[in-house]
Structure 1
Amino acid sequence: MRYVVGAADDLPPGSSTIVYPEKVKSGIGVFNINGEFYALKNTCPHMGGPLCKGHVRGTSTAALRTDGMPEMHWVRDGEIVSCPWHHWEFEIKTGRTIFKSKQKVRSYPVTIESPEELERLKAGVETVPISVEGDAVVLEI
């Protein structure tokens, strides 16, 4: 099933939205990371929290300086979403936790469709009321 999220221009880099297709009651978060679109189920596998309503941020990593002392660095800014309930962190691009765990959030393929292509594919596409003048963001569910 295909679901039209909306115009790509309405979701600029660094932004996100949550959509509620009929088949996914909890919703799906759609994220634009530096012009690339990703989608995650809006359910944290830890305890079912609304994952995509959490903060989008980066994470820290440690490295040793030349003198052997540890130094912290902020990395991957805008690529990590943190569940608002218990702050479990997940990579938006893969749905995997940033710590060692088998837990993973379901991700969905996202494509960018031209208005002409979208018009051709309209049959069988669940849509929301939008006006698409440029390319559209479309989820495969």
Structure 2
Amino acid sequence: MFFSVRAFIVSLILALVAPLVIAPLVGVNIAQDYLVYFAVTLVAVYLGAVFSQESSSTKTQSSSEDDLQDDEQDDREIGTVKWFNSSKGFGFLTMESGDDVFVHYRAIRGRGRRFLIEGQKVRFYVTEGEKGKQAENVSIVKTN
């Protein structure tokens, strides 16, 4: 298990709000025991966030291992994931030259739910889209 600041902040916010929202719905007065409800909610939400990140990271690496074997011999660009919004299905990659390139989830190689994680190293072709540079044939670079 690892410590993720982002997961902790989201968990903290949810843990602060969840007891206040849920208590009136179930008819419980949480004024006296708010700290207990807060602590239980914080632990549950944080562990869920951490385990889901570990699980998705492992699935991403294992599902795309087949796609990574020919990456070393191609002429694609190398870059890193600047950010990627998995719910909207798009984000931006930063090329080694420093330029940003738009990426859509359909351009990511692999099966199942395709997404990228901030800071991942990737290979891709750069094409010119309607609104500028766009990444195609994106795959995650395997780190040894």
Compute the TM-score of the two structures, normalised by the length of structure 1: 0.25
1 or 2 for the larger relative contact order (CA 8 Å, sep ≥6)? 1
Greater per-residue helix proportion = 2
Greater per-residue strand proportion = 1
Compute the TM-score of the two structures, normalised by the length of structure 2: 0.25
CA radius of gyration, larger in: 2
